[in-house]
Every structure is written in C-alpha cells, then in structure tokens.
Structure 1
Amino acid sequence: MHYSILLLALLLSACNQSSTQQESNPIVTTTPPLQTEGSQQYADIQAAKEALPGKAHYDRACKACHSGAVKRAPQREMIGLMTPESVLHTITKGVMRDEAQSLTAQEKREVAEYISGVKLGGELTPLPACDNKSATLASSSSINWGIQLENTRTISTEVAGISSKNITKLTTKWAIAFPDSSRVRSQPTFAGNQIFVGSHSGIVYSLDRDEGCASWSYIASAEVRTGITYSASGPDPMIFFGDVIGNVYGLNANTGEKIWRTRADDHPNATITGTPSLNNNMLYVPVSSLEVSLPINPDYECCTFRGSVTALNAITGEIQWKTYTIEEEPAVTGQNSVGTNIIGPSGAVVWNSPSIDVINNQLYVGTGENMSSPASLTSDAMLAMDLDTGKLNWAFQATANDVWNSACDTTTPENCPVENGPDFDFGGATVIVNTTKHGRLVIAGQKSGFVHALHPKDGSLIWQTRVGRGGIQGGIHFGIAAKGETLLIPISDMTDGRTYPNPDRPGMHALDANSGDLLWSTLLEDKCVGRDHCHPGISQVPTVIGDLVIAGSMDGVARAYAIDTGKIVWELDTSQQEFTSTLGTLTKGGSMSGGAGPVANKGLLLLSSGYSLYNHMPGNLLLALELKSE
C-alpha cells in the first residue's frame, strides 16, 4: 500500500477527527476537507495540537517509550488512532497505569486529549434508536464478507430481488450519516431484519433494515474498517470484526454485548483490514500492519512486523494457530546512512479476507510487499494454508524483490530499501472458481494490474492476464468478483506521480476464467473536472447482483454493468447530491473505495460512499435504495 499517503491520513485522523469513543463521546465534527501535508490548514492543525497542555505531560511520561526506545510500545502515530476515552482507560486502569502513575488525574485527561486530538466527554448525536421494534436474525449458519466461502461475491436475483429488469426502479429508502465520520468503509451485513455495520468512529451498529434506526450499538477501541461476519451456529448468534489497532471482537448479535476480544498479533503496529472469514466455528483473521509508515523517520529501526493469519475459536476467541507469512524472524542486517539498524525480513502483510476451500481443506490469502531487506519469497504472493493447522502448503510469488516502505517517497529516504520496489501488493481477496477447462482455480488480482489463476493443489500458474496499467493504488486494488466462469475485474489506474509503460484503463473488465481471455472492457470517462481528489477509476470491490455487477468509482458514482456485455444499465452519483439522513441532517458521499462493496437483499441495495484517505473525496453516506412499489 502507498503509505506516505496513508501516514498523512492517519495523522489527520488523529488530529482532526475522533477515531473512536469508549465511555463518553467525542465532539461532533463536520466532514473536513482533505488537507495536504505542507498546506497552511495542515500546519495550523499540527500547531494547535502541539499547543495542547497534554503535550508536556506526554513528553515527560510517555514520549521516551513511544518514540522507538521500547520495541513493543506502539509508535505515536498508532496510539493517535485511539479515542481519548480508550487512552484514558489505558493509563488509569489498563496496561499503562503503572507507567502513568506520576501523572495527576487531570494530567492524564490532558494526555488522552493530546494523543487523540479530541476532547473527552464531547457531545455526540447518536443514530436514532428503534422504538418498540423486535430484531429477527437470520438462521443461516454464517454470512461472510465474500458472500460465499469462495469470496466470489455473488448474490442471486432470488436473494437480492434486484436485476437488470428492475434496477432502474430503485429509489432512496433511507440514508445514514455516521456520527463523527468522513469515510464509510465497513461493508454492511444483512441478517434477518437487521443490518450490521462498523464505522469510522469505531461504533458498530445493528440497524433495522426498514427504518435505518439502531437496535443497539457497540463502541470498539478504534475505527472498524472491516466488514461484519455473522454466525448463528453457536449458543447465541454472534458477529465478528476487527479494528484498526489490531483487536478482534466477538459480540452477541442480539444485544451487542461483548463476548470476547482478542489481540490478533502482539506487534504494537498490527491492524485488521480484511474481514475475518468463518467456517465451522473457526474464525480466520488476516493481520496487517501500519509499521510501513514509520520509516519516514531515519532513526526508526525498520522493520519488525510480519504478516500472518490467526485462527480463533469463534465461540471463545482463543487462538488456535497462527502462521506468519515470513517464517524467518526479523534480525539486524546492517545500518542505514545515519547509523540506524536495519531489521529484516519484514512485511508480506495480509490486507484481505481469506477465501475458504473446504474441498482441499485450505484457505488462500494474498500478501503485500516486504518493508525491509532482504526480500522474501512470500511477499506479493498468493499463499495456501491448511485450515486445521495453518501449515503453509504452497506460495506463488507474482512480483519478486518488491521491498518498499514509505521512506522511499519522501525527502528522508535513509530507510528506503535498496530494492525500492513498485509496491505491488495483493490488496484484494483471492476467489475460488470452478472452470470447465481446469476444474477448481484460485484467482486474484494484483495492484500491478495482472490477474493470476493458480491450481489449488500446488499453486502452479495456469494463466495470467494484464488488465490494467497498475500502480500504487492499483491496478486492482480491493478485489474482484466472479459469476460462474466470468471474472469481473475493476481497474483503478489512478495517477500517482509515477511513469508506467502501459496505458491507463480505469473501468470494469470481464475475463474468461478458463483462459484469462478478455471478454469485454468498459472504460470510464473522466468527469472530474474541477473536483479535487476525484478520479474515474474503480478501487472499490465489486459485487455480482443477479445478472449485473455493481461497483462504486472514485468519482462517487455507483454503476451497474450487464455481466454479458459490460453495458452500463444504471448509475447513481452519491457525491454531488445531498440526502436527508435518519438524523434529519443533509449528507452526501464521496469517493467509493475499499472493501465495502455493494450488498443487496430482498429488494434493498446498500451503497457505502466516502473515503477520506489516499487523496480521495471524503464523504459520509450509507445509502439504502429500495424498489418502487408498482
């Protein structure tokens, strides 16, 4: 992932927005414009934060450990993602209470506000609560992010109630503006008459599908960007998700009560971005990291994080096994030009939701680049792991020697690896497709713009096809979908300041899963003139709904394409019109990106819009569309 941009976004999130809340609520903020590093607005935000009274207390009691002296202590950028309430709890009753004992009660409050950039106890308008409405949950054993265990993201016309015959009859049913949010990137999950969804502010909701009111809400420790996995197979129905600081949760789906919370990795910069996948009461959690932004500081010893998949007992949250994507433990390999230790190998993080192959008793994930030298054979790779033990069965590396971190694109490149790779992660999930010619295949798209199809037994390459130009945000960014033997491939090809030999191909494309041959391409016209941070390409993961594939673009427009021809049969601009939210306020979307793809059930289509990261348009819209009555 392109982390020089991500670091700025994280800093802005910590400085200008609430990440979460735990006991009291953060101050409501309006959706901010996307600031750029070096701008006066950014400088003003940073100066105001550094002037807070908590800075002096933080420098005295906390800074030494959280500036890299203690390897297991999270860096300042990471703890800045926490809500002030979470920070205060940590230094008063949690794991940092002894270290903070020199601070008075008031000083602890000021430290919490300084770290998060948000005042304690601010007033937050909650989503409207449901009155006298009973929740009826689905009896399905499990509902995963990829719809199917194979991650094909296919919803039938019978389940969705939507197809090319009626999609033009969709009209707004309700719209949600999440409190204190400028992005919407948690994919909603339908379960009976409820919809489960996470939020930028760290609140997870159970929403009534008819009214959009909240049946209950749960406050996590940080932003929840994963989707919500649902299960009805245990003693009580449960939901599962992860937050951006590495916690995984299991909640009672009826009440929102926390049943367990488990840290998926003990590294201080671990994060959960891909939605955990569930099968037979085993929860498979992909683990990524935000460490790659820290090498911007030449004194930071880069890097020690290794990607992994962690398997949890879904009922208890206990870890059953953990497999690192890099077997070798990181060790000092040299020094950079200012004498700071270089540590490696590192990286090969897992951004995406595992696909589950019950026939071969394997799961499949894609990995990211190495963050420090030496390069490993499992970065930018597709991996197969045994479902029961986590044993790595095979690895297919698509791009070798891709070693990169955010220092490479800055004026302080001392920590940039000698390889200075292209940053061609597998950001999106693998899918499993049954083909006439080759039988079962494991297929994934890469930020390079290539799609790779492998044999599940040994990871041997069956075919590969270049679809897009590729780039640091794709190429193929957050994943693909499949219907039968047709693969649906979204291409971003966003301008990123680099020069590439191949032409841009932003839009939706279809491939034959048997051969990788191109079936059709629908290129999207750039209609972003005059709009900052607007781009025509598709970064968001698509969803097959009946005979259509639907995806939102970075220009804020959701489009439905006919699967057989690629013709656009319906579109809706979420970013240039306002919708009345359930709070009675006006809201609108922005860029549509990330893993929060469209979902549909019984004539209701949900769209997630707004992505205040990576130079995209901020927005705050979860839009429910229903079919007009005849």
Structure 2
Amino acid sequence: MDDVQDWLNHGGNLLNRRFADKETKISPGTASRLRLKWKFNAGRDISATPAIFDGTLCFPSWDGYIYAVKASNGGLLWKKNLQHLTGLNSTGAIFDFDPNITVSRSTPVIAHDMLVFGLGGPAYVVAVKRSNGRLVWLTQLDKHSKALITMSGIYYKGHFYVGTSSNEETVSIEQCCIFRGSFVKLNARTGKILWRTYMLPDNFGQRGEYAGAAIWGNCQERQNNRTDMPSTDECVEPENHSDSIIALDLDTGKIKWFNQLGGYDVWFFACNNVSNPKCPPGPNLGADFAAAPMMLTTYVDGIKRDLAVAVQKSGYAWALDRDNGKLMWSTEAGPGGLTGGGTWGAATDEKRVYTNIANSDRKNFTLQPSTKVTTAGGWVAMDSKSDRVLWSTADPSNGTANGPVTVANGVVIGGSTFRQGPIYAMNAMTGEILWSYKTGATIYGGASVSNGCIYLGHGYKVSVGLSDPGFTAGNSLFAFCVA
C-alpha cells in the first residue's frame, strides 16, 4: 500500500504542498473521465479538506460532528458529536455561527493511532482514537472568550504543533482587543503543553496595547532544526510578528528568524463604519497569511535553494530562503481584498506554485498571458524559480475562489463559491479547464486526492458566508474518481 496517497493534515504532509505526489491515475489525459462515485450526507456544510489514511476519510462538519467514512464507498465508520465528546459548550467565537453547536473547522491531523484537531471556540485541542473516535485527551490553549483554533496543525516525532486564533475583532470598539496569537508544542500522547511562543509583545491584559496576530497555519522543516540568524531590520519592531512568516526552534520555541512582509492590516468588524473616529484608517487589504508556507527546493538564479513559499491575502506570493528568511522572490498573483487574495492554502509540485485568488472585493483581475480582465476569482500558476506568473484562469461561473487549491500529477483542482458549487480540474501547465462538476452548493474548502479519486466537501452558509447572498449551504462530501 506504499503507493497509495495518504493525506495527513490540511497541507497533505509535513511539507504542506497540497500535492498528491503518488497520484498516477488522475492526469491531464484522464481528468475528463472523472465521475461521481459516491456522496456522503452530513448534517451541515463541510469546508475542511478531508484527511486520508489507510482507506479512511476523516473530516468535521459544521453540524458539530467529526466523521470517519470509508474512502472506497463513503460508508460511515463512526461519528462523534463534539459537544458530547468533550463536554465543552461552544463559546460562540466563530462569527455569526450558532453558539449552541461546538465545532471544528479544520482538517484533523493523523497522529499515529490518533486524530488531533482544534475546536472553533473554546480554544481546545482534542485527540481521539482514529479507529473509533474515543476521546484520548483535550487541552485548552487559550482562555480568552473569543479564542479558537483555525488551523490544522502538524504531528512530528511524537509532538503536535499548533497555533491559536480568535474572533475578537467581532466585539465592539470599547471591548477590543487584548488577544495575542501564540504557537504551541504539545506532547501528542498526553496533550501536555511543552512550550508556547507569543507573536506580539505582552499587553498585560490591557486594551490599547498590542493585540491580534492570530496563527492560521504551520509546516515542518524535517531535514534539520538549524537556521542562520539574519541581520535585523531597524524599521521592524523585534517583538511584533504580525503578518509575518516565522521560523521557530522545535526544541525551545525560540524565534530563529522572521520576515514581516507588510500590509497595513489593522481592522475589526466595528470599523466597517469608516466614519467612526475611534477607528484606524481603512478598511484595507487583508495582509494575513491564511495558510502556512510550503516547503520546496528549487534553483533561484542558478543556485539551489530550500524555500518557504506562501501567498498572502494581499494577493502577493513570497518565496523566502528557509535557512534565514531572506526574500528570494515575490510577485502579485492577483488582486487582494478584505478576505483575499490568496487564502486557505496554495500548492506546489516544485516546478510551479499554484494559488487561488478569491478576489473578494471584485477588482479588475488581469489574466495572464491573455491580458483579459475579469472581476471574478480564479487560479494562478507561477514559476517556482522566479517571480514569473505563467497563467491565470478565471472562474467561469463568475464566483469568488476562496478555497485552497490542490495539485496531482499535472492537474490543479479548485472550487468556486458560486451558489451551484462547481469544482474544476485544470491543466497544471496551461490552466486549461479539463473537467468540471456542479456539486450544488458553495465550495469554500479544498480537495484531498488519493488513488484516482478527489474528495471534497461543499456548503458555506456559516460564519462570514452568512453575509454573502451568493454563498449557499450544503451537507455533502463527494468522491470523484477516474472511470
């Protein structure tokens, strides 16, 4: 079974490439033969990329359950209600979501014989037996009432690494803000916290000081735990790591280097009323990194480089030398926006870097190489060695493209938020759409791929999707396989 693809976390594996490197059945020549094999009905929207291990798919739904189903036929193996499993009531931290349902919104991580995942408020990490969903441990990472876990996490050598997030930006101007994002290492067997690193200076619980800097993703440099300390930039505050890519020591959590890549991203919901004198200027383009960097090795200017590459909500892609954080190249993949831009995850096969461009603000988006202009979202490919955009393809349904992309054997997979929920398979070399299917509801999540099949959920009439009249609700996970 070594030739069958497993999908261990949101990014697929430690390298976070969202790349099905073992896939052979799906290809540009066979993508047109993809057919619906089965559909599993959950109770509500599914936006997390399904994990895959040993013929089993594991995923949460916005109905408050986590599910395990057979990859071969969609048969239910087990399901667990998260409120009953943990004894934890929702804190209502997720914007505009039912406070009576305790949910997870991220891909569960395969951790040996366990699944490990975070809750969308309160900010607990939960470990269950992979075989039956029985609770093993749960650990609270942050006691803030609006804290939650957005990201999927990483399992490596008996430890689990994950960051904290929050929705404190939903409170009033008078109440906001004191939350500080942090990154945590836990013992995967016991859930014990081994170290914690904050992304901002201590605010001592006082409003008017540093707040924010939630963490949305992480990846693991497995080759070593050594990086070089770069020279400092005197224009950057040394303890402010907002809108940054950061390298931490695995053993201690000490920050080895960081690169703050810019964007004036000071915003919360109350300041959508731009006339309020208590608000900072804005709203501005989102400058969050809404997913972790990808690890790849390629040649830049003829020199072999180990890179960390990420795409920002601003629409910019950044490639850093992962030994020291120095910028190797950057490029504008497409227009940024309040919610993106690039969001929830890019992909790479090391030859090219692929990303979605949500285009949430419906700006003019110039497609390459045609120079045609669209106001829809779309998908973009860049040369991994340089800042060159190779192609960009608009969403034919004129929707936004908020979900992360996946690449498998020369095929890029992306979904649309359009109300009929189309999924597309594109030629990774040219961007040509090879196949599509209307799932019946908004696609906001990403696909995992294994053994000739694409697995993907639909529906996003929750959280920020409630305020978008074009987003629609769903309740299904789909398996599309090469016939």
TM-score interval, smaller chain: 0.7 to 0.9
Contact 2:39–2:74 (CA under 8 A) maintained in structure 1:
yes
Given the alignment of the two structures, is residue 344 of structure 1 paired with residue 344 of structure 2, yes or no? no
> Are residues 327 and 160 of structure 1, via their aligned partners in 2, closer, same or farther at CA, if it must alter by over 3 Å?
farther
Q: Look up the match of 2:383.
A: 512
Q: Which has the higher helix share?
A: 1
Structure 2: distance between partners of 1:355 and 1:386: 13
Q: Look up the match of 1:248.
A: 125
Contact 2:120–2:150 (CA under 8 A) maintained in structure 1:
yes
Contact 1:173–1:624 (CA under 8 A) maintained in structure 2:
yes
> Are residues 219 and 278 of structure 1, via their aligned partners in 2, closer, same or farther at CA, if it must alter by over 3 Å?
same
Structure 2: distance between partners of 1:512 and 1:171: 31
Contact 2:274–2:283 (CA under 8 A) maintained in structure 1:
no
> Are residues 493 and 258 of structure 1, via their aligned partners in 2, closer, same or farther at CA, if it must alter by over 3 Å?
same
2:72 is aligned, of 198, 202, 210, to: 210
Given the alignment of the two structures, is residue 618 of structure 1 paired with residue 473 of structure 2, yes or no? yes
3-state DSSP of counterpart to 2:169: helix
Given the alignment of the two structures, is residue 223 of structure 1 paired with residue 103 of structure 2, yes or no? yes
Q: Look up the match of 2:40.
A: 176
Given the alignment of the two structures, is residue 480 of structure 1 paired with residue 360 of structure 2, yes or no? no
Structure 1: distance between partners of 2:481 and 2:392: 29
**CA deviation string 1:177-221 (max 9, x = no partner):** 212x1x211221111122111111221111122332221122213
Q: Look up the match of 1:468.
A: 334
Given the alignment of the two structures, is residue 197 of structure 1 paired with residue 197 of structure 2, yes or no? no
Q: Look up the match of 1:607.
A: 456
Contact 2:263–2:314 (CA under 8 A) maintained in structure 1:
no
> Are residues 159 and 423 of structure 1, via their aligned partners in 2, closer, same or farther at CA, if it must alter by over 3 Å?
closer
1:565 is aligned, of 405, 427, 430, to: 430
Structure 1 position 462, deviation (Å): 1.3
Q: Look up the match of 2:147.
A: 270
**Greater RCO between the two (CA within 8 Å, min separation 6)?**
2
Structure 2: distance between partners of 1:617 and 1:563: 28
> Are residues 142 and 547 of structure 1, via their aligned partners in 2, closer, same or farther at CA, if it must alter by over 3 Å?
closer
Contact 2:38–2:73 (CA under 8 A) maintained in structure 1:
yes
1:238 is aligned, of 96, 114, 127, to: 114
Larger Rg belongs to: 1
Structure 1: distance between partners of 2:331 and 2:11: 23
Q: Which has the higher strand share?
A: 2
Structure 1 position 161, deviation (Å): 3.1
Structure 1: distance between partners of 2:411 and 2:226: 30
Contact 2:417–2:442 (CA under 8 A) maintained in structure 1:
yes
Structure 1: runs of 5 or more not aligned: 1-135, 333-341, 364-373, 528-534, 576-589
Given the alignment of the two structures, is residue 312 of structure 1 paired with residue 186 of structure 2, yes or no? yes
**CA deviation string 1:377-402 (max 9, x = no partner):** 31111111111111111221122543
Structure 1: distance between partners of 2:153 and 2:42: 23
Given the alignment of the two structures, is residue 540 of structure 1 paired with residue 416 of structure 2, yes or no? no
> Are residues 537 and 418 of structure 1, via their aligned partners in 2, closer, same or farther at CA, if it must alter by over 3 Å?
closer
Structure 1 position 454, deviation (Å): 1.0
Q: Look up the match of 2:220.
A: 356
Structure 2: distance between partners of 1:622 and 1:140: 19
- 1:266-345 paired onto structure 2 within 5 Å: 266-295=143-172, 298-300=173-175, 302-330=176-204, 332=206, 342-345=207-210
Q: Look up the match of 2:256.
A: 393
Q: Which sits farther off after the overlay, 421-430 or 187-196?
A: 421-430
Tell me the percent identity: 29
- Tell me the amino acid that sits aligned with residue 201 of structure 1: D
Task: Say what the alpha-carbon RMSD is for the aligned residues.
Answer: 2.8
> Are residues 323 and 503 of structure 1, via their aligned partners in 2, closer, same or farther at CA, if it must alter by over 3 Å?
farther
Structure 1: distance between partners of 2:357 and 2:305: 26
- Tell me the amino acid that sits aligned with residue 127 of structure 2: G
Contact 1:307–1:325 (CA under 8 A) maintained in structure 2:
yes
Structure 1 position 503, deviation (Å): 7.6
- Tell me the amino acid that sits aligned with residue 265 of structure 1: D
Structure 1: distance between partners of 2:376 and 2:247: 30
Structure 2: runs of 5 or more not aligned: 84-101, 228-236, 367-372
Structure 2: distance between partners of 1:184 and 1:479: 17
Structure 1: distance between partners of 2:449 and 2:361: 32
Structure 1: distance between partners of 2:41 and 2:290: 27
Structure 1 position 453, deviation (Å): 1.0
- 1:521-540 paired onto structure 2 within 5 Å: 521-525=392-396, 527=397, 535-540=398-403
Structure 2: distance between partners of 1:330 and 1:193: 48
Structure 2: distance between partners of 1:243 and 1:400: 29
Structure 2: distance between partners of 1:318 and 1:137: 32
Structure 2: distance between partners of 1:551 and 1:401: 29
Q: Look up the match of 1:153.
A: 18
Structure 2: distance between partners of 1:317 and 1:267: 19
> Are residues 627 and 462 of structure 1, via their aligned partners in 2, closer, same or farther at CA, if it must alter by over 3 Å?
closer
**CA deviation string 1:528-577 (max 9, x = no partner):** xxxxxxx52321111111110101112221111111111111111112xx
**CA deviation string 1:125-154 (max 9, x = no partner):** xxxxxxxxxxx9999999232113111111
3-state DSSP of counterpart to 2:208: strand
Structure 1 position 423, deviation (Å): 3.1
- 1:101-120 paired onto structure 2 within 5 Å: none
Number of residue equivalences: 438
- Tell me the amino acid that sits aligned with residue 523 of structure 1: A
**TM-score, length basis structure 2:** 0.84
